[in-house]
Structure 1
Amino acid sequence: MFNQLSFQRVLPAPLKLEGRKPMRYMVWLLVVALIILRQDLWLWDNGTLVFGFMPITLLWQAGISIGAAIVWFLATIFAWPTDLIEEAEKQAEGGE
């Protein structure tokens, strides 16, 4: 089931283009930015409630979690090792 799936056919055409290496650096930069932004020292003593019930620090952490999911999605597209994709395609064709 899994080994019959070709990742190259799943990805949209613009993502198949060469030049993924600069985006790998961008993904790493975003990871470092998330690590720095995760330390919300500027909101630690803020007791503001958002929507009347949610502390602003909890909303900040929810935003960080959504940002981490987006960065992980980008990492799987741009920073995933291409040799794993080629190996999976070989196995799908029946080769070893």
Structure 2
Amino acid sequence: MEAYSPNTDTIYPSWDALVSAEAHGFITVAILQHRHPKTGKTTTYARAFGPFSERRLARNKAAVLRRRWKVSRDDERPGLTLVKVATEPLWGTVPATTRT
């Protein structure tokens, strides 16, 4: 399936080709929810980690975050829930560096 980039007005043969040509690396995003104990309201927020030069490195960071969350105790993070951990392309003008 073709992918179109409005930034460069270019059609690529696939989404992966577009990402390879135009993305500036990858980031790992953790989406969390916090339920406030006094009010009962829920706040959703995200934390980004990176940038990473390769998708593999971003996915490794995502796995590390999931493992840490799984082994941490519930009393260390009362009211906090991990909703999702995702790896996304990084768009913009900042070149990616390799981080772990």
Q: TM-score, normalised by structure 2?
A: 0.32
> Which structure has greater helix proportion?
1
| Relative contact order, higher structure (CA 8 A, sep 6+) | 1
Q: TM-score, normalised by structure 1?
A: 0.33
> Which structure has greater strand proportion?
2
